[in-house]
Structure 1
Amino acid sequence: MTTRMDHVGVVVEDLRAAVAFFGELGLELEGEAVVGGAWADQLLGLDGVEADIAMMRTPDGSGRVELSTFRTPPSPAAPPSAPVNTPGIPRLTFVVDALDGALDRLRRHRAELVGEVAQYEDVYRYCYVRGPAGTLIGLVEELR
């Protein structure tokens, strides 16, 4: 039985840019490390793993995002750019104090709006942006 969710992992091309992006959302850098060796090869099913990772924590401490950039082996695929309704495409959603301000700050980090900012009744405003490596990031502003 699961006791809690530990973290979500996102592979990115530019670790510094990804740390800055998630920092704009208020996540705090918890730590950084270089990982590799036999245990990493075994875990990931790859040979010769060497990766830089940064662990980011939400301000309330309830969630973490692991950002990683692989030095080796090289990635065979381009970042995702599939639409939101594609099976298997992850979305990370964060509650923000002011959606418009968060969106403006993230655009300075190359975030691209997917669709439009939408409002659901008087409950919340919501949008998706493409973040580091094409990751879909939901931004929710609670109105109540």
Structure 2
Amino acid sequence: MIWDGREERQIEAHWGLGSCDPEIGQILLLKSETARIENPCRILANEFGIKRDGKTLCAASLVTDIPFFCIAGVWQRGTRDYPDAFAALTVSAYPDLAMHKDRHVAVAHPDDWFDWLLSERPALDILRRFPEDSFKIMPPIQQSFEGLAGAA
């Protein structure tokens, strides 16, 4: 989901920002504390995988009454050489996930979804921590966060 200047809208985009460095290739994740957030987006998800050494250990899902949540991300408009693309932001681990990983994708609180898209407040204020028992941890299923590459 992006803000197009008038309204929120869903776009289809490639997961992985283009890089000027040919050795890097694509940028999938950005550290929220140091990322330059010029074009915020929300990535719709119902779970995300927690990986270590390339292996998915478990999946995490926000405990909520709605069927999805939003991961904070940034996007870039496509060029002749590269499509519209997005990357997810990461944060220090929330209490429920800290035993599995020290960092993971940043989940935006539902109350902050529009503030995130409109850059109404500083990014680090919006990407606040969730309290304990906010996430359900489960074995990974086939369609985890890495399978959501087309929705931003």
TM-score (norm: length of structure 2): 0.27
| The structure with more helix, counted as a fraction of residues | 1
Q: Which has the higher contact order (CA 8 A, sep 6+)?
A: 2
Higher radius of gyration, 1 or 2: 1
Compute the TM-score of the two structures, normalised by the length of structure 1: 0.28
